[in-house]
């Protein structure tokens, strides 16, 4: 029989706790020790793929682990976007808008999944082909997340390039990575907007069904009272 303690200490969940520790290390050293910060954040997102593989391989998938994974992803990405935004103040409005978009779209997606009675936000139905492809194709999903997070790391390194990259060739390589992954980051934000739209429509549809049902019931009761 599986106990509560067992779930807390599932291997993929232990990986999740390690990711949180690495993210906290990143944020603590972000403005003082960029090498530690960049490596910690990069390793954290490499482990993001490892926890899913561990869950499937060890048959240790759980709703707790899914929530832990998503909350860790959203918090880590949001704070990293804030850090990069402060390092590039001329563009901070774009970074903060991206942070808002990322959080709200995933929150709406999770809530719409619940009210629709669907099991998982990645398996939720949508009339938008792009969103279905995004969640339905693991390779595409992996590449989009990898590219988006690589952009944040590359942008962070770009600010500290004189400290982190002593050779010009390394700086040139990082700039190439920056511009290539910028496309992934931009597309990820567009997908988030589509996700927000899709989820919003589901929530409104739920509202309409609930309110129309209440309205009909109220009308019927009012008629009885009038009699």
DSSP state, 121? G
Euclidean distance between CA atoms 44 and 40, whole angstroms: 6
User: Using alpha carbons only, what angle is made at residue 160 by residues 154 and 161, rounded to the nearest 5 degrees?
Assistant: 75
Contact 175, 158 (CB under 8 A): yes
Q: What is the 3-state secondary structure (H, E, C) of 60-114?
A: CCCHHHHHHHHHHHHHHHHHHHHHHHHHCHHHHHHHHHHHHHHHHHHHHHHHHHH
DSSP state, 183? H
Euclidean distance between the first and the last CA atom of the chain, given in angstroms as a whole number = 58
Catalytic option among 73, 90, 102, 207 = 73
Catalytic (active site) residue 172: no
Catalytic amino acids? Answer: 73
């Amino acid at each position: 029989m599986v106990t509560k303690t067992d779930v807390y200490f599932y291997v993929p969940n232990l990986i999740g706790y390690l990711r949180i520790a690495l993210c906290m290390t990143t944020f603590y050293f972000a403005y003082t020790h960029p090498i530690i910060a960049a490596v910690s954040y990069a390793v954290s997102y490499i482990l993001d793929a490892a926890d899913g593989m561990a869950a499937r391989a060890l048959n240790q998938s759980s709703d707790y682990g899914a929530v832990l994974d998503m909350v860790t992803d959203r918090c880590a990405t949001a704070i990293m976007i804030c850090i990069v935004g402060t390092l590039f103040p001329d563009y901070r409005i774009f970074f903060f808008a991206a942070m808002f978009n990322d959080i709200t779209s995933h929150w709406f997606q999770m809530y719409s999944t619940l009210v629709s009675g669907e099991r998982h936000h990645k398996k939720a139905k949508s009339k938008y082909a792009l969103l279905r492809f995004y969640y339905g194709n693991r390779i595409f999903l992996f590449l989009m997340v990898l590219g988006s997070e690589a952009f944040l790391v590359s942008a962070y390194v770009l600010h500290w390039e004189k400290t982190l990259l002593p050779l010009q060739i390394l700086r040139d390589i990082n700039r190439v990575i920056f511009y290539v992954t910028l496309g992934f980051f931009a597309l990820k934000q567009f997908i988030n907007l589509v996700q927000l739209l899709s989820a919003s429509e589901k929530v409104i549809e739920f509202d309409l069904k609930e309110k129309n049902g209440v309205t009909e019931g109220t009308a019927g009761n009012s008629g009885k009272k009038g009699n």
